[in-house]
Amino acid sequence: MAHSLAQNGPRAGDIILKRTNDVPSRYTLSTSGEPAQILCATRDEAIARAERFAQSHHVDVWRTDGDCSVTRIIECRVVAAAGSA
């Protein structure tokens, strides 16, 4: 299910995976709101790198196709228990 960026979308620190038309780097990874930081040649490479980062930093990974919609593909964000600071 796709989410609009304004509704239940990526939060600060989340990873955004985007497919590009640039060859040989066909996928980019960035943190939410930042320009592309990592270039990857394959989707598998991009997902593997994003997943490792997400697990170690407890953030989510989202995919976008360049429009305004995003889809969460990896969920690693730790949700604080209700009432905790």
- Given a cut of 90, whether residue 3 has pLDDT beyond it is no
Q: What is the 3 state secondary structure string of the chain? A: CCEECCCCCCCCCCEEEEECCCCCCCEEEEECCCCCCEEECCHHHHHHHHHHHHHHHCCCEEEECCCCEEEEEECCCCCCCCCCC
Residues across the chain: 85
pLDDT of residue 63: 94
Q: What is the largest CA-CA distance in the chain?
A: 48
Quick: pLDDT tens for 56-81.
Answer: 999 999 998 766 788 999 999 876 54
Report pTM: 0.77
Quick: pLDDT tens for 19-48.
Answer: 888 776 799 999 988 888 999 999 999 999
